[in-house]
Amino acid sequence: MSVDANFTTNRGTLHLDVALQVQNGETLALLGPNGAGKSTLLRVLAGLHEIETGHVRLDEEPVDAGPNGVFVPPEERGVGVVFQEHLLFPHLRVLDNIAFGLTSRGVKKKLARTVAQTWLERLGMIKYGNATPTELSGGQAQRIALARALATTPKLLLLDEPLAAADASARVELRRTLRSQIQAFQGSCVLVAHDIGDALALADRIAVLEEGRIVQVGTMDQLGNKPASRYVADLIGLNCFRGTCSGNVLTVKNGKTVIVGTKHDGEVIATVHPRAVALFRERPAGSPRNVFRAPILSTERALGCIRVQLGGDLPIIAEVTESAVKDLDLDGRGEVWAAIKATEFRVAPT
Amino acid sequence: MPAVFAAILFLLPLIGLLAATPWTDLATLITDRATLDALLLSLECSLAAACLCVVLGLPLATWLAHGNDSLRSWVRVLITLPMVLPPIVGGLALLLAFGKNGVIGGSLDRWFGIVVPFTWAGVVLATTYVAMPFFVLTVEGGLRAFDPRYSEAAATLGANPWRSFRSITLPMIAPSLRAGLLVAWARALGEFGATITFAGSFQGRTRTMPLAIHHALESQPAAAIALSLILLVVSAVVLFLLRRQWFPIR
């Protein structure tokens, strides 16, 4: 099912103003700080929250056209939802939780249970059909919630932080299950991701929400190449500076200037990948245009590299290899020389 | 220590009642026609009142639980009134409304030939009037504590509002439904003031157990004690039978 949403609405203090398209069969991840409106966006698509202006269309059919227009209630939208806290019905056994959506749509109880049974098998939960939801762990409950949503064969699947309820040890396994189920799922999928890792693992594209607006939509590469905000840059681990450019001289907030490889004028966001920040014990000779001395604040082991947080005038993160750390004796803290080539800065006007 | 005193306070009257019971004449007193009439009438009327509480009270409780406007708070005051008023005042008010010269009683009689006061229906109406607030307020509390996100989950699974209410909301608030029903039934079983004022005390028609006890107390105190014992036993048996389902100990 394709999704075409272009609307505004309010919920509490949040003002949501969103334009969003999801293609048939595509999976879109929503990322953003708390309170940015991710859950409310899902609620609008599910029909649990009404819009104030604009439209929401599923497969070209309007399902919400504002206060004076069409409104298709959630039970008629064919949209499956997995809620953050699974919300399994506590008085029904696991099997009947999965069968609930089918019996609600008029399927006979016996047949609904047979179908529910196949979903238990598919998710490796065959032993738990007669359990009550309170007997399940967070990860297991979320699997059943996924089965419950998928059993109704929705055309659009919405998942609100599906990994939040699982504890750390179960998360990897649950993410794998989600990944395979989403891939097997025929319809479109919109999910609220907790972090960039979940978004990358599960989705084709990422939409970043901040304060009720979508600041950027795209693939991971598109976001990384030109992050639209500080938040997006932080999200994908880039160093990000907001400042004013005059020619190829960028002045960041605290007055520090750096030389960038392209010419701009006015307010810009500049990003530089941590790998592009080189560290030296002695002042390096040669071509780099930006060389400065900075104190090491901390070092952190990341996947296949060490991330070094530098302080000083230009707080920045450098990624170096383990052997480089040994050569530079970085564990001893102190100060180092940092060098960044001007061409490594990506500058985009805001 | 205060806990012991409290327990004794509830135990002593029981002992007093049992000590004064005329055990030798008990069989004749209990099988007396008037006694059986009263017992049967009490059970019938209290159950009918309990049913009315569900049929009328559940929609009212649902409406009350879905909002916080001033109309709802005024209605809540209105239905709390019978809990606070002496039942005899309630009975009198019912009489002034449904009596021959009452606000609607006259019209009911003239147009439909329906006379409510001093009839079986009058007993049920009076006991419902007194008992329903307990049911409504208990169930409203349960509904307000119910997490509406479960209804939302049901809706996304294709359940229309009625099915969602029936298969999700009601089972999930079952404890408050049971508690409300039990309290309302108990209140109906023991109802005296409103019943005697509104329905009178006619043997076999409107004289329920509490009324029969009151009636016997004037002429034959031994019979009053025997009747009290019966009411005690009936209540105790019901509480005992329902203890597991209604007040589960965890």
Instruction: Please check whether residue B141 lies inside any domain of the structure.
Output: yes
* Chain B residue numbers touching A77 (CB-CB < 8 A): 156
User: Are residues A173 and A305 part of one domain?
Assistant: no
What is the model's pLDDT at position B239? 82
Q: What is the mean pLDDT of residues B24-34?
A: 84
The residue out of A196, A216, A231 marking a domain boundary is: A231
Q: Do B155 and A48 touch (CB under 8 A)?
A: yes
What is the model's pLDDT at position A173? 85
- Which one has a higher pLDDT value, B29 or B16? B16
From A134's Cα to the closest Cα of chain B, the distance in A is 14
What is the model's pLDDT at position A119? 95
Q: CB of B174 within 8 Å of any CB in chain A? A: yes
Say which CATH number the domain at A175 has.
Answer: 3.40.50.300
Instruction: Please check whether residue B150 lies inside any domain of the structure.
Output: yes
User: Are residues A315 and A195 part of one domain?
Assistant: no
The residues near A231 (Cβ < 8 Å, ≥ 6 apart) are: A32, A33, A208, A210, A215
How high is the mean pLDDT in each 10-residue block of chain A (350 residues)? 92 94 94 93 96 94 92 95 94 96 94 96 93 93 95 94 83 86 92 84 92 92 80 80 88 87 84 87 79 86 77 87 78 81 82
User: Are residues A126 and A204 part of one domain?
Assistant: yes
Alpha-carbon span A301 to A331, nearest angstrom? 12
Backbone angles phi, psi at A83, to 5 degrees: -85, 160
Alpha-carbon span A269 to A262, nearest angstrom? 13
Q: How many CB pairs under 8 A join A and B?
A: 59
Q: CB of B152 within 8 Å of any CB in chain A? A: yes
pLDDT in tens, B149-183: 999 999 999 999 999 999 999 999 998 999 899 88
The residue out of A203, A231, A259 marking a domain boundary is: A231
Inform me whether the pLDDT recorded for B42 exceeds 90.
yes
User: Are residues A292 and A272 part of one domain?
Assistant: yes
What is the model's pLDDT at position B247? 64
B47-69 burial, b at 16+ Cβ within 10 Å, e below that, comes to ebbbebbbeebbebbeebbeeee
For B171, name the nearest residue in chain A, comparing CA atoms only: A91
Q: Where residue B248 falls among pLDDT bands split at 50, 70, 90?
A: low
Q: For residues A132 and A82, is the Cβ–Cβ distance under 8 A? A: no
Instruction: Please check whether residue B104 lies inside any domain of the structure.
Output: yes
Q: What is the mean pLDDT of residues B100-106?
A: 83
Alpha-carbon span A188 to A58, nearest angstrom? 10
* Chain A residue numbers touching B248 (CB-CB < 8 A): none
Q: For residues A89 and A107, is the Cβ–Cβ distance under 8 A? A: no
CA neighbor of B168 nearest in space, from A240, A139, A97: A97
User: Are residues A181 and A68 part of one domain?
Assistant: yes
What is the model's pLDDT at position A296? 87
Count of Cβ atoms closer than 10 Å to residue B158 Cβ: 25
User: Are residues A301 and A276 part of one domain?
Assistant: yes
The reply to whether ipTM tops 0.85 is: no
What is the model's pLDDT at position B2? 86
User: Are residues A96 and A191 part of one domain?
Assistant: yes
From B69's Cα to the closest Cα of chain A, the distance in A is 19
Inform me whether the pLDDT recorded for B246 exceeds 70.
no
What is the model's pLDDT at position A115? 96
- Provide the domain count of chain B: 1
Q: Do B154 and A104 touch (CB under 8 A)?
A: yes
**Residue B186 Cα distances to A168, B42, B181, angstroms:** 51, 11, 8
Structural domain for A300, as ranges: 237-349
Q: CB of B153 within 8 Å of any CB in chain A? A: yes
Inform me whether the pLDDT recorded for B33 exceeds 60.
yes
Q: Do B158 and A104 touch (CB under 8 A)?
A: yes
Chain B interface test: which of A100, A102, A159 (most B C-beta within 10 Å) = A100
CA neighbor of A104 nearest in space, from B155, B137, B111, B45: B155
Torsion of Cα atoms, A221 then A227 then A230 then A231, to 10°: -50
Q: DSSP character for A283?
A: P
**Which residues of chain B form beta strands (DSSP E)?**
none
For B157, name the nearest residue in chain A, comparing CA atoms only: A101
For B168, name the nearest residue in chain A, comparing CA atoms only: A89
For B150, name the nearest residue in chain A, comparing CA atoms only: A87
Q: Do A101 and B158 touch (CB under 8 A)?
A: yes
Chain B interface test: which of A91, A109, A155 (most B C-beta within 10 Å) = A91
What is the model's pLDDT at position A326? 78
User: Are residues A154 and A15 part of one domain?
Assistant: yes
DSSP letters for A122-187: HTT-GGGTTS-GGGS-HHHHHHHHHHHHHTT--SEEEEESTTTTS-HHHHHHHHHHHHHHHHH--S
User: Are residues A53 and A132 part of one domain?
Assistant: yes
Q: Where residue B242 falls among pLDDT bands split at 50, 70, 90?
A: confident
Alpha-carbon span B41 to B29, nearest angstrom? 17
Instruction: Please check whether residue B154 lies inside any domain of the structure.
Output: yes
pLDDT in tens, B178-220: 989 988 998 999 999 999 999 988 888 899 999 999 999 888 8
Instruction: Please check whether residue B115 lies inside any domain of the structure.
Output: yes
Q: CB of B245 within 8 Å of any CB in chain A? A: no
* Chain B residue numbers touching A46 (CB-CB < 8 A): 152, 156
Alpha-carbon span A159 to A146, nearest angstrom? 9
Instruction: Please check whether residue B225 lies inside any domain of the structure.
Output: no
What is the model's pLDDT at position A95? 96
Q: CB of B156 within 8 Å of any CB in chain A? A: yes
Say which CATH number the domain at B101 has.
Answer: 1.10.3720.10
Instruction: Please check whether residue B136 lies inside any domain of the structure.
Output: yes
What is the model's pLDDT at position A331? 64
Inform me whether the pLDDT recorded for B129 exceeds 60.
yes
Structural domain for B88, as ranges: 43-206
User: Are residues A310 and A222 part of one domain?
Assistant: no
The residue out of A231, A252, A276 marking a domain boundary is: A231
Q: Which amino acid is at A11?
A: R
- Which one has a higher pLDDT value, B56 or A348? B56
Q: For residues A159 and A41, is the Cβ–Cβ distance under 8 A? A: no
User: Are residues A127 and A47 part of one domain?
Assistant: yes
**Residue A41 Cα distances to A142, A186, A191, A228, angstroms:** 21, 22, 10, 20
Q: Please tell me which of the candidates A76, A77, A87 has its beta carbon nearest to residue B153.
A: A87
User: Are residues A298 and A339 part of one domain?
Assistant: yes
For B162, name the nearest residue in chain A, comparing CA atoms only: A104
Q: Do A101 and B174 touch (CB under 8 A)?
A: no
What is the model's pLDDT at position A188? 94
* Chain B residue numbers touching A85 (CB-CB < 8 A): 149
